[in-house]
């Protein structure tokens, strides 16, 4: 530890070149900024590090669902974590708007997953039942809707749609506004944002982490790895493991139209501004971010089967992005056993879990202990020999 | 009158109109701006179809260019 030193308001040692914080968060995407926001709200001094503009940024490829109904089949701890996060969302959205003036467009009208054909309905119904049974005393309210009920709820439903599952827990928000609001709220609460600060090496000891940056150094007794795909490499410096891989997703965006969809569908949602987003593709393409017309056609075709009137809308924007996928699709949360004070957070659903990250996980980092309820989401679960 | 090959947006401006639409976000007037298809401020209803980028459409005799006051209206009954 450094000898007695004089610190200025920004944590800068007078005359020195080291900055000291309570927590360093590596990665300023939806996961890192949500955790960092929760930490500064708890009055901690936080440095939030980002790479440069050229980086694999999963946050810009997010569809915007705050989705509960499809999560955690066979993993009741994840179902619970998702539900807790969705329940934190309204308060987080309201707080962010009050604090930053940015409306993240969160709506929670419930959501539907459309089924085309009887086989899909049966499979979906079976899954909903499993989720209900696995939810235990948390409970899981859902309804299977037949075509007649659906046509009352959703205008212009295509003849190929047989029914759907619905829960009241689902909603959506604008992921870009969310990222903007989290960063603005972070800065408003005294957080220090350090862009163009790629981390390639670090000094690590229990409760003592030092990161060299452009000729100087920052240090803190705690560090949180929230670098998405970058966590896979970073983790080893901190006695952690984050075996995540890229999964490419593509999205199509239509011209703005007057509001016609009253609730989000798993693969189709209308934004507050009127654009209709079409998505849900998954490609295992390594780190290739190019768009593929065949995938875009599949997205468009499935969307038009659900709502034929989509056919007349023009697509004004389309993109592909690499999203983060852990080996079993479930999030990874850990505190390093070798270097206590080092935490890692990885997930696929950065928008849905923003509520939990800001309001539940950040307090765990502040307290220095990951809640035992998250133990099943530790990376230890991938160590087959340990589990056997 | 506009030269052959001019866009519908150019025709609207040449006819002396100060604006081509109101934005659905706050109702303020908008006129064609970039004239190259990236700003989306030139949206107009052309020959009955709304939300068309008028700067990207070559004007033709008899073309109906209408002011668009709101976001495009979708007809869910359309098949």
Residue-wise pLDDT for A337-378, tens only, equals: 999 999 999 999 999 999 999 999 999 999 999 999 999 999
Cβ <8 Å between B72 and A257: yes
Contacts with A256 from chain B: Cβ below 8 Å: 24, 51, 71-72
Cβ <8 Å between A308 and B78: yes
Return the domain boundaries, chain B.
Answer: 8-66
pLDDT value at A6 more than 80: no
Residue of B nearest to A260 (CA): B74
Q: So what's the ipTM on this one?
A: 0.81
Cβ <8 Å between A257 and B73: yes
Which pLDDT score is estimated for A357? 98
Residue of A nearest to B75 (CA): A309
φ and ψ of B40, to 5 deg: 65, 20
Task: Tell me which residue in A258, A308, A311 faces B73 most closely, judged by beta carbons.
Answer: A258
pLDDT value at A69 more than 60: yes
Closest CA of chain A from B2, distance in Å: 28
Residue of B nearest to A308 (CA): B79
Contacts with B26 from chain A: Cβ below 8 Å: none
Per-residue pLDDT tens for A166-209? 999 999 999 999 999 999 999 999 999 999 999 999 999 999 99
Q: Which domains does chain A have, with CATH numbers?
A: 18-60+176-243+331-387 (3.50.50.60), 68-73+104-171+245-325 (3.30.9.10)
Task: Tell me which residue in B72, B75, B78 faces A255 most closely, judged by beta carbons.
Answer: B72
Per-residue pLDDT tens for A28-39? 999 999 999 999
């Amino acid at each position: 530890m450094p000898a007695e030193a004089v610190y200025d308001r920004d944590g800068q040692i007078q005359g020195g070149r080291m900055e000291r914080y309570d927590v360093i968060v590596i990665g300023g995407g939806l996961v890192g900024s949500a955790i960092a926001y929760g930490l500064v709200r708890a009055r901690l001094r936080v440095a939030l590090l980002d790479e440069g503009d050229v980086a694999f940024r999963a946050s810009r490829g997010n569809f915007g669902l705050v989705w509960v109904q499809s999560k955690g089949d066979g993993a009741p701890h994840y179902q619970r974590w998702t539900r807790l996060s969705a329940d934190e969302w309204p308060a987080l959205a309201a707080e962010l708007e009050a604090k930053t003036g940015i409306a993240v467009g969160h709506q929670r009208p419930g959501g539907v997953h459309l089924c085309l054909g009887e086989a899909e309905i049966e499979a979906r119904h079976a899954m909903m039942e499993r989720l209900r049974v696995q939810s235990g005393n948390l409970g899981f309210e859902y309804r299977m809707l037949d075509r007649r009920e659906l046509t009352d709820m959703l205008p212009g439903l295509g003849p190929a749609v047989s029914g759907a599952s619905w829960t009241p827990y689902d909603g959506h928000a604008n992921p870009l506004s969310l990222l903007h609001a989290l960063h603005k709220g972070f800065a408003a609460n005294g957080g220090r944002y350090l862009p163009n600060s790629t981390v390639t090496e670090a000094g690590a000891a229990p409760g003592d982490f030092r990161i060299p940056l452009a000729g100087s150094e920052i240090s803190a007794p705690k560090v949180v790895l929230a670098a998405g795909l970058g966590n896979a490499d970073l983790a080893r410096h901190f006695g952690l493991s984050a075996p995540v891989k890229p999964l490419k997703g593509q999205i199509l965006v239509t011209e703005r139209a007057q509001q016609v969809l009253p609730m989000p569908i798993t693969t189709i949602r209308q934004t507050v501004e009127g654009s209709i987003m079409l998505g849900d593709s998954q490609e295992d393409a390594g780190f290739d971010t190019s768009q593929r017309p065949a995938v875009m056609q599949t997205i468009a075709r499935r969307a038009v089967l659900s709502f034929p009137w989509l056919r007349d809308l023009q697509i004004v924007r389309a993109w592909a992005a690499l999203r983060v996928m852990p080996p079993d699709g479930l999030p990874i949360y850990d505190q390093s056993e070798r270097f206590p004070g080092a935490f890692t957070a990885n997930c696929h659903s950065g928008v849905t879990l923003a509520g939990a990250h800001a309001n539940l996980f950040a307090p765990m980092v502040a307290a220095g202990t990951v809640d035992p309820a998250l133990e099943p989401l530790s990376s230890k679960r991938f160590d087959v020999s340990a589990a056997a | 009158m506009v030269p052959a090959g001019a866009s519908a947006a150019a025709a609207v401006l040449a006819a002396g109109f100060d604006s081509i639409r109101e934005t659905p976000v706050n109702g303020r007037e908008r006129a064609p701006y970039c004239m190259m298809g990236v700003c989306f401020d030139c949206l107009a209803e052309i020959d009955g179809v709304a939300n068309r980028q008028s700067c990207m459409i070559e004007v033709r005799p008899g073309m109906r260019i209408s002011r668009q006051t709101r976001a495009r209206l979708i007809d869910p009954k359309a098949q």
